Amino acid sequence: MSTTVQASAMSTDEMLEHWQGHRRLTRRLIEAFPEDQLFTFTIGGMRSFGVLATEMLTMAEPMVSGVVTAEWITSWDRSEKTKQEVLKSWDESTARINELWKQIPAERFHETIKAFGQYEGTVWSLLMYVIDNEIHHRGQGFVYARALGIEPPPFWERQ
């Protein structure tokens, strides 16, 4: 006779805090970027950090909103063109994520959904993808910052 025991690595509140720690770090990196380089500086044909930051905005809040409402924003156009606009949108998105997160029942994280009409997975795996994507693009931003002679914030400081 086999018995399956389900263990939890972290609670949903801990998952949100982990993500928001990454968001705080990414925000500090956006702040550290020179205004005139945020949307123009690139290396090796990669997109600018400003474009990467706006991509993160198109994924984070829309993913959480879609999980809550089952309505998926498919327009990826963003209007941010300055560092202040990106930071303002970042802060608004962070607050909205916190509000929406409270509306996700814990059992929902194990449901399979199709995000944006095309990405199928469990809610938790899709949210982890968004977090992983942010970490990946922030790493690109760290490389850009160093190439510009800017010391990026320590990656382990997420408070």
Task: Give 80-124 pLDDT, tens digit per residue.
Answer: 999 999 999 999 999 999 999 999 999 999 999 999 999 999 999
pLDDT of residue 73: 84
In whole angstroms, give the CA distance from residue 25 to residue 128. 17
pLDDT (0 to 100) of residue 77 = 78
Give the pLDDT score at 96: 97
CA-CA distance, 46 to 136, in Å (whole number)? 13
User: Which residue do the tokens 């006779």 mark?
Assistant: 1
In this prediction, residue 7 carries a pLDDT of 60
Whole-structure pTM value = 0.91
**Closest among 134, 123, 122, 124 to 158, alpha carbons compared:** 134
The arithmetic mean of pLDDT across residues 118-140, rounded, is 97
Q: How confident is the model at residue 135 (pLDDT cuts 50, 70, 90)?
A: very high
Give the confidence band of 155 by pLDDT, cuts at 50, 70, 90.
confident
Residue 130 pLDDT: 97
Question: Is the pLDDT reported for residue 3 higher than 70?
Answer: no
| Residue where the block lists tokens 């899709």 | 126
Tokens at 136, concatenated: 């990946």
Where residue 45 falls (left for φ over 0; alpha for ψ -120 to 50; beta otherwise) is left
Residue 138, pLDDT > 70, answer: yes
> In the prediction, which pLDDT does 2 show?
60
What's the pLDDT tens digit per position in 8-52?
788 999 999 999 999 999 999 999 999 999 999 999 999 999 999
